[in-house]
Amino acid sequence: MHNEKTDQFAINRRGFLKSCGYGTCVLACAASFPALASPSGEARSARKGRLGPRRSPWFSRLDDGALRCSLCPRSCRIREGKRGFCRVRGNREGRGYTLVYGNPAIVQIDPIERKPFYHVQPASQSLSVATAGCNVTCKFCEVWDMALVAPDEVYAYELPPARVVEHARRSDVRSIAFTYGEPVVFFEYMLDTAARAKEAGLLSLFHSNGYIRRRPLEALCGVIDGANIDLKAFDEDFYRDIVGGELKPVLDTLRHLRKAGKHIEITNLIIPTMNDDVAHIREMCRWIKEELGADTPLHFNRFYPLYRLANLPQTPVSTLDKARAAAKEAGLQYVYIGNVMGHEGQHTVCPECGEEIIHRVGFMIEEPRMSEGRCAGCAHPVPGLWG
């Protein structure tokens, strides 16, 4: 549990960019993105310090006038005039507010494979949306200068849910993805946007750390179509020391998503000396098979040195290969390698006949060898949102 706003991390942006010169990091400053056009054609540019305060029902009042946030397992106790751990949820005159409603710091169009979603409408484009703030403090965060700061400190757009969906439809994307930052902290914004997206015939996806309580997750399951959850390790010590959270709530989230019938993919970033123990990886893979199913797509991503782990080397490809072999030995059917261009672990292979269903080179893919969600060769069903 956390009571007050935390201190900011002392590391400059230039140092971060120099540390991650591998070309896949996402710049958190929305000023680097083009201005969005309003319906009248007027350009809407990002502005630093923009806040989107909105009353939130996800608070309960305590006897001493403080509020308890009920979104994530931290259950922050927030006194009058203060904010919670995530920096974007506050107590104003005894009322609970989200401070980032309708003011995303990132709005950009990406290949769906970048999320990564390998079993969702291959080769389609997705509109990515994120605000400032996060409810954990990963020492390997790729977007720390957006996620681990207050919303007052970043450039953000004024973009309410209706305009997000309008922008998505005008851009001819097939989904909206709440990603890059942590969607749980801008829950109200995500929930309302996803509901409008559903009405417009767009998929709603979220890539999250899975650090969310049961009741809001149930509400979210009513409007989202799929999730990619970062299962950062299968080790409580790693979660406590490196992530700044707990493992159990993430596992509970995955179980509930499966029970709710949502499409799930899992990402595990393998960090040398931190979470690359093959025994832990085997244990994680056995848990995935038993609790979620052998057909749950699992992405092992390569780590590149950045932020507070800039002193570590990038993940050896041999380590990723061992992890993939362990996952397959545990019985998982769709195991991928990410952040390694040209690796055979990027392709989707039918677990029944062994034929390649989807061939990928980075974010470029060939025409899938599928028919109505089944392998074109043997008609084996492949889980996903193929549409």
CATH number at 118 reads 3.20.20.70
Determine, yes or no, domain membership for 260.
Answer: yes
Determine, yes or no, domain membership for 238.
Answer: yes
Determine, yes or no, domain membership for 138.
Answer: yes
Q: How far apart are CA 185 and CA 76, in angstroms?
A: 12
- Total structural domains in the chain? 1
pLDDT one-digit tens code per residue, 308-366: 999 999 999 999 999 999 999 999 999 999 999 999 999 999 999 999 999 999 899 99
Closest among 242, 236, 230, 231 to 272, alpha carbons compared: 242
| Interval 4-29 mean pLDDT | 34
**Could you tell me the two tokens for 236?**
């409580």
Determine, yes or no, domain membership for 265.
Answer: yes
State the pLDDT confidence band at 10, using cuts at 50, 70 and 90: very low
SS3 203: strand
How would you class 90 by CB atoms within 10 Å of its CB: exposed for 0-12, middle for 13-18, buried for 19 or more?
buried
Contacts of 25 (CB under 8 A, 6+ apart): 17, 142, 143, 306
Phi, psi of 215 (to 5 degrees): -65, -50
Helix H or strand E segment including 54: strand 54-55
pLDDT one-digit tens code per residue, 359-378: 999 899 999 999 999 999 99
Q: How far apart are CA 304 and CA 37, in angstroms?
A: 35
Provide the Cα torsion 379, 380, 385, 387; round to 10°. Answer: 0
**Could you tell me the two tokens for 61?**
């009042």
Is residue 71 within 8 A of residue 216, CB to CB? The reply is yes
Contacts of 352 (CB under 8 A, 6+ apart): 375, 378, 380
Determine, yes or no, domain membership for 275.
Answer: yes
Determine, yes or no, domain membership for 281.
Answer: yes
- Relative orientation angle of helices 214-221 and 187-199, to the nearest 10 degrees: 20
Residue range of the domain that includes 175: 13-35+101-291+303-322
Determine, yes or no, domain membership for 28.
Answer: yes
Is residue 76 within 8 A of residue 2, CB to CB? The reply is yes
Specify the range with the lowest mean pLDDT, choosing from 7-11, 56-60, 187-191, 288-292.
7-11
What is the amino acid identity at position 141? C
Q: How far apart are CA 172 and CA 124, in angstroms?
A: 10
State the pLDDT confidence band at 92, using cuts at 50, 70 and 90: very high
Is residue 212 within 8 A of residue 250, CB to CB? The reply is no
Determine, yes or no, domain membership for 93.
Answer: no
Distance of CA 293 to the CA centre of its chain: 21
| Interval 60-73 mean pLDDT | 96
Structure pTM?
Answer: 0.90
pLDDT over 50 at 72, yes or no: yes
State the pLDDT confidence band at 60, using cuts at 50, 70 and 90: very high
**What's residue 117's pLDDT?**
98
- What is residue 351's DSSP assignment? T
| Interval 176-201 mean pLDDT | 98
